[in-house]
Every structure is written in C-alpha cells, then in structure tokens.
Structure 1
C-alpha cells in the first residue's frame, strides 16, 4: 500500500463521532508504518523526481524558499462539509466558498516577519537563509495529516521520505492553536523527532513529554492558568460561578482538573455547560438551537461570573450565539466572563455583524506579548501583491474588506473590486489587530528559538572543527533531531527585550497577562493589561491584579460584581449549610455570646480571648477593663473615710475610758476586757482598709485571716464580758461556789481560748491553700476583676462560721442575763449589739454570693464596718453618755440609789 492509497483511504473514511476514534487511530498507525517502510526501502536517497505532481494539492499555502525551512500548519481557512454518510464515498469539499478567520492571518504574518528579521540579521545564521512553508489544515484531521506529510515531501509532490532535487530542509514545524490539530501533527512528526512548537494547550492535556517528547510549548503550562483563575476568583470573593467547557476529551480533562480545584478553594459552580463542538454544516442549526436552550440556563442562574474554557471553533459558535441573543428575543446577559488564553475576538468572515458588547469587561488570561519594534511598519507593506508565494492573502483580503480581487467569479458579481490599497488598520479589531497578539508573539519567539538553536549548534561544531566545509556548516547533513539538545538550553533576549527560555519539560518560562477587554459598538475593542500571573513568583504572590484599572460590564455600574449563591453573611454572623444544596449555599446565623466574626462569610464564629469580649454586634473583640475597688473611685473613698472615721471614734472612746478608768462605770464588767474589746474594734475598722486597693500577694494573705482573728478576739471579749456578768451575779448568792471563778483570770482564759481556736483555723488555712491574687475573667463579660482568690472557700466559710458561733453564743448568754438586777449590768446592750451583729452577717452571706467584682469586696467591707459599728454603738454609747453628759451618775452611791428606786 503506497502513500496515495493511504491518503485515499483517509479521504473515504471521514468520521465525526467518538465511536470511531479507534479506527482513526488505526489509520494513524498505518501512516506511520508506511513511513517506516519508505525509510527502509528508499533510504532517503537522492534522485530525480519521477513522481507526478500532487493531484489534490492543498489549496492554501504560503511558501518562501530557504536553505533551512520552518513548517507551519494553521487553521486559517475552512469549509463547511455535509454530514458524512457511510452509504457513499464523501465528496471532497462541497462549499464553493471557503470561510476564513481573518484574524488568524496575523499569525501567518508574524512568522513571515520573524523570518524576514532573522535573514536580515548578520549575527544569526550567517551565510544561511531561513524560509518557511505554511499549509492550511482546514480544521480537518485528514487535511492535517496530509499537510504534515506534504511538509516532508518534495515541493508540489506528495511522496514523503524521498529527497528529490531542490528538496527543502525542514528543521521545525509550528502547530495550530487547536490542541487536536497539534496532536495530529505530533503523531506523524514523532517518527522523525522533528522539533514541533505549539502555541495552544497541548502537553498537559495529552500526556505531555511521555507521548510527545519533541514538543515545545510556546505558552506556559495550562495548569498554572487554572490556579491563576482560582486565585482571581478568590481575590474578588466570587464563590458561585457558571462553568463552561467544550464537549470533548479536552473539556473532560479540563473539568477533571478544575472542579476539584474549585471545591478545595470553596468555590461552587451554579451550572456546568458543555459547548458542542461543531464539525459539519448540518450541525450548525442543531448547535444553535441547543445553545438557545442552554442560554436560558444563563438567565436563570444567579451567578454573575462565567468561567469559560474552549478552543476554536466552539468558542466562535458560543460568541455568535451570545452576540445574536436579541434575534431570539432573549434578554442580554450582563456577566463577567473569565476566559482562558485560547479566547480571542476573532470572528468568521461570514459573520461580519457581531455585537461584542456582551463581553464588555471580560477578564482573560492572555499569553504574554510584547511589541517588536518593526512589526507595525511590516504590516504597512502587506498588500495583495506583496508576496507571490502567499496563498492566503487573496481569501483574507476579499473577505476582510468585502471586495473581490477579480470579476471572473460569477458568485462575486455584486461585490466591489478590491483596489489593493485598502488599509489593514481600517479593519475592526475582531478581524485584524495592528498590535501583535499573544499567539503571534509566540510564533515570533518560536522562529527566533529555532534560529538561535541552529546558530548555537553551528558555533559548537565550528569550535570542534567537525563537519566544516570551507568554513561553513554543511546544513544538508543536519538532521532536525540534532536541534533538541540546543533547544533545551537555549536562552536569548528577543527584539522586544523579553527573555525566552524553556524548562525541562519544553515549556516556555513565561507567565500570563491578566487582560481586561473593553468593547465598543463598532466591533472594536481595547485590551487593557490589569495584572500579571507569574508562576515563578514566591508562593502567594503569583497573581497581581490592579482592581482600579478594571472596567466591568455596564450592568454593574462600575461596582465590583458579586457572584455568590446567596447574600453574604455580614460580620457578626456565620454560615450554616442548607440541606440538600451545595456548600456555597448557606443561611446566616448570629454568633453565640462571646464569639465574633470579623469578616463576611465566615464559616464559624471565633471565641474572643479571655482578656477580651465581643461588642454588641459581635463583630470584634474589645479589651476588657481591669477593675478592683480602688482608693481613687468614689466607693473606695467613701469606705476608706468610714473606716478611718470609725477607727478614730473608737480611739476616742478608748481615750475616754482610759481617762475615766477609775470611775465605777468603767470598772464594772472587767475594765481590761473593755480595753481589749475597744482595741479589737479599732483594729476591725482598720483591717477593712486591706480590702481596698489592687490585690497584692501580701494583702491577700492578711485580708481574711486578720479580719477573722481580730473579730474573734472582739467576740471573745464580748462573750467573756457576758459570762463575767452571769458569774458575778451567781457568786453573790450565799453559799455559792462560783466565787473562785470570778476575776480577770477567768475572762482572759475565755478570750485566749476562743481566739486560739480561730487562730488554729487560720493556720490550717494558710498551710493548706494560701490565698493569692487572681483575675476573674468570666464573671463579667466586659471586665477583668482583680481579686484575691481565697484558696479554699471551705476554710473561708469555716472562719465566718466560727465567728457566727461566737456571736450566737454571746447573744444567748447576754439574752439570758439581760434582767439581772445590777446597776452595771451591760447584758442588755450586749444582747442588742449581738442582734445587730448577727443580722449583718446573716445578710452578708447571700449578698456576698450574689455580687461580683468590687461590689463583693464592698459588701464585705460594709459588713465589717456595720457589725463593728453596731458593737461600738450598742455597748459603749450608753456609757459614754453617762461619762460625758451625766458625770454625776458615774458614782456608786447614785447608781445604787437609782437601782433601789427602780
């Protein structure tokens, strides 16, 4: 089976369904087997070409001869075919008029411009000329294979692997933008190890270096682009998006890579739309009708951001539908389109009226491009007659300017004649751009990469003095595969001062430009660079976006678009997932007490630290105020003044009693006990000062124990006084044996014994659990209470309980002795004082437990002052009255006489 038979078989078997992919692969294997046989049989020997010219040549090609030739297979022009039928042999091409994508012509010119510059530079490829051979693929697999084999054949012949006279020396091939076309090219070129450069997504989707080891990507790895889009969505807080991808294997791989990435970053898709891949004319109406139904999905979705992945011509169909939505009486879409680097406004020539304002404000990850200085001048010389080898310019010129180069075609009788002097800059941007696009710039750099690699190889061999012929490199002996070593390590600066180099996977080390598309009603647009995606930047700094430069779609009134499933949860609220819906759809619930959410859409509320509390709206934590009963605040001042005042009064009473110590009223009821009681009351008043001020280690140790001991001494003195009265009355009876118990010894023993028990309790307390300064963070939400931690609450209440026991005992004895017939009997006053004392401390306990902070300390100070004041007032005020105001009554005779009268 020869090559022509293989091609005829490829022409007969034309498939558009995935169900026959296996057969297509078998055909590819047959092509490779044929090439192997040709290599074995022909041995690539030189011979005069006896083969006839190709009976079915590719209609559109651009050939410029050179000693070294770069091949390229674009998809600039295509035909609409009829749907295939297995009942008869398919015809060649039914459409009588080809359809072009005018904007693709700039890519062809970019290669021509690069070759022209390289040939004019004396520093690159000296004494060698560089040429190119461009063959159209028509977006058809069989034509892609034929174009690839034609590059391996003699000019105007179709016999691969046989060198005839004037055989072109092919050193590299540039693929098309569509990944499928580049894959078909690589399948054939893999046998020859010819370097292939692609400016479309290819390696990450089709196995990369494992399947295509000789492929070089002039665009960065597409995986970087996916992560860049996710970072962009997170940057603008867009968590509810529409997702669109081609309905083919590429689309499947895209979704398999992107959907988990979106989920990991808490981004959901409102819908996932598969864009039909159109291949035949009959499919066009079906595709449009299907997309019309899917257009209504756009209208029903709450998402304001659509992430689109696709390749021509599927993107063309989607663009046509969106721009022509008014024809179907559908409301226009005001959305933010986030698109990958394959996207461009390059319409078909048959669709001249294209309203692109629907894409106003779109954001794309464009292949980085700069402007070589001579390119605009080069475009000025492009005319229909500028190059005899350009087989593309006639179709481009006629369809771009809506004119005819000749009137011989009856189908063009109604069109005007092209003058040939039309200006490219007059074309709308969707047809042609005067600035070099990212795709054109990639081809421009690829041509320079090949030239620099060949030049590096020439210099290397010249230094080794191998294969030198008259000082020149014998390029006829150069094989394309020998360039790979030099391409891997090539690094140079192009005329735009950009550095071009590849990584170990053959991918160019470059980033993406974040481009904002600003469209106008006359089908023109402006690309505005608003950011940069640099995969080589430090982690977290890969994406840089200037928000202020972005122009949004007019429907957003230049306000940052919001794209979420539901309204954001404001600070103070957290998200709660809705049952049965995606995690991006949620309800908002207010934060619990002492928890906050400072940002919108927080998953959970955060608990404030112990030293901070939440504000009323639960949006932030506020530092708590540190409080304690201070001498600087009114309450502290009042209590301190009362404490000092009572202590001064007590000292005054003590002074009065000392001055009148020999009077009967002072001598009565044991004078030493009276002094002891007054001194203990004086200390009780003063010990309340230990409770005022910031708690310190020393004050915490002394506070409760000092208060307990002093009060125990006071109560013991009162008890001793009361018992003394009872014993004295009993001892006066005839024959009483109680006389020996009456005296100072008995009273002192009572005081010492009762006080010793309280001292023992305090020692036990301090030896087991010392009181210490502490901070109460929880009692009050907005305050930190500086307090003394008692160490052991049980021991504290033991101290209070023992004082209560002494008070009740004193009250009982005094109550029983209140009516004894003695002029100096003070049991009545003690009874009343103990009643006051018990009332104060019984009230103290529940009040103390129900208060917090400095109020608790104030309650205890008040109880100390009140109970001490009650003892002082009830016991000593009657005596002071007699001593000071009624001194005549302060003698034994008067008191006895008054008692008899009573």
Structure 2
C-alpha cells in the first residue's frame, strides 16, 4: 500500500441521487418472505443504526449513471407525450403512440434530450448518440498515521474532430524563432519575430538567419528579397527635370552659336573677340552636356569621366573669360600714349596659347587623379538598411579638392581683373558683363560645397548637377544675353559708331 502514495487514477463519475437515502431508510422487511433461516425480522428495525455499505449514497458511480439514463428516458417520453397530432416529427406529421411505440421513435426524442442533474452534470447526446463523457480523477495520498486519503475531482472530456494535442505552446511559424520561457518545461516557449534583415523559413526555428549583403528580409521575415536600388535616374522626376534643363542649355548655346556665326562680320561680334566668343560657347555646351554623366546608374567609365569632363570643360570656359578680361585691359592700356607695346603680348596666338596652357594644367590634374586614385562606383548600404544607394566615390579627396580649387582660382582671378576693368570707357564695357557673370559663378560654387557635403546618395549628384547648370546659365546669360539682345532686337546699335561710344543708339 505505501507504493500507492501519489498515484493518479480515473474512475466513473461519482454522483448523488436526491432522496435515495431517505427512501432506503423507510424500507421495512417483508414478514411473508423471511426464508433466510436466521432470526425473524419484526418489521420495526431501524436501518439508520445499521453499519452497511448499501446505505452509503455518497459514492454512487454506476448507480448514478443508471439514474441519469432513467431520467433521460423519462424526458424523452415526456416530449413524446407532448406531441400534438398533425404536428408530429414523423411521416405525415404523425406522433408516436405510447401503446405501439417503436424504439426508433424513442431514439428520436433521446437525441434531443438536454438537462442538468441536481448534482450539476449536464446530460445530452451528440450526433453519434454518445453522451458527454465525465470522469473522476483519483489521487491516493499516504497519511502520516498510515492511512490512505483519496482526493477526488472530475474531468470533462469534450470530443472534437481534431485529436487532442499535448503541447504547451503552438509551433512557431516561419518569420519567427523560438524563445524558451524561463522556469517552464522545454515545450513552453514564445514565438519572437525575426529582426529586420533576418529570416526563418521553417516552423519552430531556434534562430533567425541573416540575409546576404544585397538582400533584405520580406515584411513577413520568411524570405530574403533583393534590396531596392537608388540612384539619380533618368526616369524619376528629378532626373527628368535636370536632363531637360541640360539639353535646353545645350540647344540654346547651339542657337546662339548659329546667330554669332551668321552675324560674325557685324561690329558687335568682331568687337568682342569673336574667336574667344565661339570657343566660350563651345565650352558652355560641353558644361551643359557633362552634367548628363551624373544622371543614371553609376558605372566605372561614367565615374571616371564625369569629374574629368566637368573640370576640363569649366576650366576651358573660365580660361576664355580670363583671357577676354586680360585683352580688355591690354586694349585699354594700348589706347593710352606709349602703351602700344602691351598688345604684342595679347595677340591671337598668345590668346590661344594661354587658354591651351590653362586647360592643359587641369587635364594634367585629372590625369594624375585618375591614375593614382580613380573614382569608382560604390554600393552604399549605410543610408538605408533595405536599400542599396549606387554612387561614385571620388577616390582621392585631395584630387577632387585640387580640381575644384584650380577652377576657383581661375574664376577668382577673372573676377578680380574684371572688377578692376569695370570703370573703363563704355567702348570696353564687356568687363562689366564678365564681372557680373563671375560673381554669379563664384556664388553658386561657394554655396555648392556645404550643400554637396551634407547631401546623401543621389542628392549629392543632384546638387552637383544643379551647380553645373546654374553656373553655366549664369555665365551664358550674363555674357551673351545683352549681345543677343542687340543683334536680334536692336540692330541699329550693332554699328561701329555705336560700339565705339560715338553714336546715340537709343
């Protein structure tokens, strides 16, 4: 018996039958059928004073089930007797006849029985005719005095179509990982969603797997998908606007170049050094076109060519402006007594040579930069975890700084010389236009540096393209706008007398 301590068992449901004990205590022996051969009963015996297990009505098990069965049959017969003729459930809306009752008719009403006993148990039948199963759980406990105590409780078994599952936690779906609950059995765990960039593609994963470099986790965290790519594209609104502006500037330069070619023999074109004006228009066209290299997915050749083309084109442009300014100063000096020798150093050959030398210096800087630390395309994943930003790294920051610094030096020198020549007589008033154009140029590129440094990814390229286009349009409009106005709209001022300042051209 000591081995039974702590044992669990299952027994038929125990119940109480109201009034049974009182009924049994009222029973008296039948004096006419006393054939036991023992003591003769008097019929006045009091059963309440007798120690017998038949009077223990607190542990009725099989009897309790019989009690419920009889009550179920009684409820079924009661419903059968309540049937009204013509409204019955059988063929022809007939009712069952208690005198000629068929078993299947009783079964029909038994299936609909549903009542609760005074002990609190519900009695009903499912579609298969099975009663709701209720069992008692028995627990034998060994007492200190050597006796056994039986604790009793009951369990209600609900039968379903799905087999019962003996698990503490449901399986973790893909996209999550299992995390065991502290202090609980191994089958008890939480399902923790995978963090961004990690996935799990099977049930009950214990850990999440990191996606490869060029991939990112799907919203459900169950699949690695390719990362989105981001760069200044020809198909997005910003890229379309910049491209259209670049092509517009190129077209306008070509139109003005045609106008100057057509009017090349007029005083306005000849007086402003036509050869340098043509070269300046060509360099401005190159400045507009080089901005297109900054749009589109970066590749090795575009990364290497974009800054080189930008640097050489702008140096060619600023060199032309610088030489034009120097020529203006030389001509004014030559107009004074004893100053004719100064023009010897600013003839056509010297002008071409100066532009060539200044541009060659920039070409040498670009060549050294490309050879030592060439710009290359780079996949940047620092800005966005779920996106690849394609950009060109400059390779050598010093090389890029020298390239910009050389352009800035020439622009500053041009501005200073033009500023010194701003008060020359009106017949040399191109210096005023150059001063204004270089002021715009310097302002744009001074604002460019902090904007470029603080702009991430494709917006850095957009800032540089904007600076190229803004400075190019500034130079073009400031220098060629007034000349085109006179050539096309005020031809009466396009005369030698008016340009020399001796005409009244209104």
Matches within 5 A, 1:672-687: 672-687=275-290
8 Å contact 2:180–2:186 — kept in the other structure?
A: yes
- Classify 1:620/1:725 alpha carbon distance in 2 versus 1 (closer, same or farther; 3 Å): same
Q: Which deviations, in whole Å up to 9, do the C-alpha atoms of 1:715-747 show, x marking residues without a partner? A: 111122222223333333334463433333443
Give how far 1:619 is off. Answer: 4.7
Aligned mate of 2:401, from 797, 817, 830: 797
Q: Are residues 1:723 and 2:326 paired?
A: yes
The residue aligned with 1:289 is 5
Give how far 1:713 is off. Answer: 0.5
The residue aligned with 2:92 is none
What SS does the aligned partner of 2:388 have?
strand
State how far apart, in whole Å, the 2-side matches of 1:559 and 1:728 are. Answer: 106
Matches within 5 A, 1:563-602: 563-564=167-168, 574=177, 591-598=194-201, 602=205
8 Å contact 2:440–2:471 — kept in the other structure?
A: yes
The residue aligned with 2:369 is 765
What SS does the aligned partner of 1:716 have?
helix
- Classify 1:894/1:600 alpha carbon distance in 2 versus 1 (closer, same or farther; 3 Å): same
8 Å contact 1:836–1:870 — kept in the other structure?
A: yes
Unaligned ranges ≥5, structure 1 = 1-283, 292-320, 329-352, 355-519, 524-552
Matches within 5 A, 1:658-669: 658-669=261-272
Give how far 1:649 is off. Answer: 0.8
8 Å contact 2:369–2:399 — kept in the other structure?
A: yes
Q: Are residues 1:868 and 2:487 paired?
A: no
Q: Are residues 1:652 and 2:255 paired?
A: yes
Q: Which deviations, in whole Å up to 9, do the C-alpha atoms of 1:615-654 show, x marking residues without a partner? A: 4564543322344444444444433332222111101111
- Classify 1:600/1:668 alpha carbon distance in 2 versus 1 (closer, same or farther; 3 Å): farther
8 Å contact 2:427–2:501 — kept in the other structure?
A: no
- Classify 1:858/1:901 alpha carbon distance in 2 versus 1 (closer, same or farther; 3 Å): closer
8 Å contact 2:498–2:504 — kept in the other structure?
A: no
State how far apart, in whole Å, the 1-side matches of 2:409 and 2:183 are. Answer: 68
State how far apart, in whole Å, the 1-side matches of 2:12 and 2:395 are. Answer: 80
Q: Which deviations, in whole Å up to 9, do the C-alpha atoms of 1:4-25 show, x marking residues without a partner? A: xxxxxxxxxxxxxxxxxxxxxx
State how far apart, in whole Å, the 2-side matches of 1:601 and 1:807 are. Answer: 68
State how far apart, in whole Å, the 1-side matches of 2:386 and 2:493 are. Answer: 61
Aligned mate of 2:9, from 297, 319, 322: 322
The residue aligned with 2:291 is 688
8 Å contact 1:723–1:813 — kept in the other structure?
A: yes
State how far apart, in whole Å, the 2-side matches of 1:786 and 1:617 are. Answer: 27
Aligned mate of 1:775, from 345, 364, 379: 379
8 Å contact 2:211–2:224 — kept in the other structure?
A: yes
Give how far 1:706 is off. Answer: 1.4
State how far apart, in whole Å, the 1-side matches of 2:13 and 2:292 are. Answer: 88
Matches within 5 A, 1:435-474: none
State how far apart, in whole Å, the 1-side matches of 2:426 and 2:418 are. Answer: 14
What SS does the aligned partner of 2:309 have?
helix
State how far apart, in whole Å, the 1-side matches of 2:134 and 2:167 are. Answer: 29
State how far apart, in whole Å, the 2-side matches of 1:799 and 1:735 are. Answer: 40
Aligned mate of 2:209, from 582, 596, 606: 606
- Classify 1:522/1:744 alpha carbon distance in 2 versus 1 (closer, same or farther; 3 Å): closer
Instruction: Give the TM-score normalised by the residue count of structure 2.
Output: 0.62
The residue aligned with 1:884 is 488
What SS does the aligned partner of 2:428 have?
coil
8 Å contact 2:217–2:224 — kept in the other structure?
A: yes
Q: Are residues 1:640 and 2:228 paired?
A: no
Give how far 1:582 is off. Answer: 7.4
State how far apart, in whole Å, the 1-side matches of 2:503 and 2:484 are. Answer: 19
The residue aligned with 1:437 is none
- Classify 1:326/1:640 alpha carbon distance in 2 versus 1 (closer, same or farther; 3 Å): same
Aligned mate of 1:742, from 336, 343, 346: 346
- Classify 1:608/1:850 alpha carbon distance in 2 versus 1 (closer, same or farther; 3 Å): farther
- Classify 1:782/1:732 alpha carbon distance in 2 versus 1 (closer, same or farther; 3 Å): same
State how far apart, in whole Å, the 2-side matches of 1:656 and 1:587 are. Answer: 79
8 Å contact 2:133–2:158 — kept in the other structure?
A: no
Instruction: Give the TM-score normalised by the residue count of structure 1.
Output: 0.37
State how far apart, in whole Å, the 2-side matches of 1:851 and 1:661 are. Answer: 44
Give how far 1:606 is off. Answer: 2.7
8 Å contact 1:644–1:686 — kept in the other structure?
A: yes
State how far apart, in whole Å, the 1-side matches of 2:175 and 2:478 are. Answer: 59
> Number of aligned pairs?
370
State how far apart, in whole Å, the 2-side matches of 1:289 and 1:583 are. Answer: 27
Aligned mate of 1:819, from 408, 420, 423: 423
The residue aligned with 2:67 is none
State how far apart, in whole Å, the 2-side matches of 1:795 and 1:583 are. Answer: 62
Pairwise CA RMSD: 3.8
As a proportion of its length, which structure holds more helix?
Answer: 2
State how far apart, in whole Å, the 2-side matches of 1:893 and 1:288 are. Answer: 132
State how far apart, in whole Å, the 2-side matches of 1:596 and 1:819 are. Answer: 73
Give how far 1:810 is off. Answer: 2.1
Give how far 1:659 is off. Answer: 2.0
- Classify 1:705/1:562 alpha carbon distance in 2 versus 1 (closer, same or farther; 3 Å): farther
Q: Are residues 1:700 and 2:303 paired?
A: yes
What SS does the aligned partner of 1:818 have?
coil
Give how far 1:657 is off. Answer: 1.5
Q: Which deviations, in whole Å up to 9, do the C-alpha atoms of 1:457-490 show, x marking residues without a partner? A: xxxxxxxxxxxxxxxxxxxxxxxxxxxxxxxxxx
Matches within 5 A, 1:219-618: 284=1, 286-291=2-7, 321-324=8-11, 554=158, 558=162, 561=165, 563-564=167-168, 574=177, 591-598=194-201, 602-616=205-219, 618=221
Q: Which deviations, in whole Å up to 9, do the C-alpha atoms of 1:149-185 show, x marking residues without a partner? A: xxxxxxxxxxxxxxxxxxxxxxxxxxxxxxxxxxxxx
